Amino acid sequence: MTFKVSPGPKLDINKANTHILPPFTLIEPGSLKELLEVKAKYGEKAAILAGGTDLLVKMKLRILEPEYVISLKKVRSELSGIRREGDEIVIGAATLLRDIELNDSIMRLAPALFDAVIVMGGVQIRNMGTIGGNLGNASPAADTAPPLLVHSASVKLLSTSGERIVPLEEFFTGPGRTVMRPDEIIYEVRLKALGKGCGSAFMKIARTAFDLAKISAAAMICVEDGVIKEAKVAVGSAAPTPVRARSAEDALVGKAPTPETFLEAGKAARNDISPIDDVRSTAWYRRRVIAPLLHDVLQKALGRIGV
């Protein structure tokens, strides 16, 4: 039985809305090889459509008007999935945020990433958005970035001329900018699973959980014999890119994991950030709140050790 299709309406339906997608040519590569060839051919003229939750919004707001949109529809399965490789977790670039949230091993082995994913948008956004999209969009407020930074993540980029692996710390170069060449795509994200005696966590401060972060932070600490052996701290929405807070890390290593240590580390992190006033918050507030925020996120990470 076929559904009855009414003849098209007289009005141009693409102009029926308040936010209208600009015209573009859609390309649907049938294989990874074809995807790379198309990206090599069109470069900056082409945008990759993964989940659409950033790209299509930017296009509707005329922030981006790519001539070509490359759909991942036919290569999605090749670019999706979560697997374990030794002490690393490998996540395909087109893996949905929701699938990361529902994956047992992420919750166990990269809890900071789990914390971040569950506060990203509503369930609809997480059913659409992808981890590669979140990183490629390169927002200073990208929620997956601080957890991935503390889990020593790297990004595998592919192009027709080969592959390269870029540490996430070197990946972002500014708001909306990365080291990616126009012919490259993000293939997968690799992160270190939590080791023994380690815990990680992520928290963000936002108007509502749905909203973008005013400031966010992730921490990973390893404790041995009552002393912090290893510490990684990263902060989002407080600099042109998500950043590692090395002063905070230095203030942690070798100390006992106490609330006082955590608050001192939080204060030290003020040296690592360069926040600005923007629509969501002020530089003043971000500088103040980073100390208690890091205290809280470190406590949360500590509470997860050995769980």
Partner 1 sequence: MGRFVSFTLNGKPVRVYVEDNEILLNTLRYKLGIKSAKYGCGIGECGACTVLVDGRAVLSCLTLTTEVEGKEVLTAEGLGTPERLHTIQKAFAEHAAVQCGYCTPGFVMTAAALLKENPNPSEEEVREYIRGNYCRCTGYYNIVKAILAAAKELSGEA
For partner 1, the binding residues (CB under 8 A) are: 1-6, 8-9, 11, 13-14, 16-19, 21-26, 28, 49, 52-53, 56-57, 60-61, 69, 71, 73, 98, 121-125, 127-128, 208-210
Q: For the CB of residue 101, give the shortest distance to partner 1 in the complex, in Å.
A: 12
Rounded Cα–Cα distance for residues 130 and 97 (Å):
5
For the chain, what is the total number of helices (H) and then of strands (E)?
12, 14
Q: For the CB of residue 99, give the shortest distance to partner 1 in the complex, in Å.
A: 10
Q: For the CB of residue 29, give the shortest distance to partner 1 in the complex, in Å.
A: 13
Mention every residue, 6+ apart, whose C-beta is less than 8 A from residue 299.
Answer: 259, 262
Which is closer to partner 1, CB of 214 or CB of 232?
214
CA nearest 134: which of 214, 54, 76, 216? 54
Q: For the CB of residue 111, give the shortest distance to partner 1 in the complex, in Å.
A: 18
Q: For the CB of residue 84, give the shortest distance to partner 1 in the complex, in Å.
A: 25
Kindly report the CA angle at 264 between 260 and 267, in degrees rounded to 5?
Answer: 140
- Residue 47: left (phi > 0), alpha (psi -120 to 50), or beta? beta
Which is closer to partner 1, CB of 99 or CB of 183?
99
Q: For the CB of residue 211, give the shortest distance to partner 1 in the complex, in Å.
A: 10
Q: For the CB of residue 218, give the shortest distance to partner 1 in the complex, in Å.
A: 21
| Chain centre distance of CA 113 | 9
Q: Classify strands 198-205 and 215-224 as parallel, antiparallel or unpaired.
A: antiparallel
Which is closer to partner 1, CB of 52 or CB of 176?
52
Q: What distances in angstroms separate CA 43 from CA 47, 102, 106, one per listed residue?
A: 8, 34, 33
Which is closer to partner 1, CB of 127 or CB of 247?
127
Which is closer to partner 1, CB of 26 or CB of 227?
26
Which is closer to partner 1, CB of 61 or CB of 279?
61
Which is closer to partner 1, CB of 64 or CB of 263?
64
CA nearest 32: which of 68, 70, 65, 62? 70
CA nearest 189: which of 106, 50, 82? 82
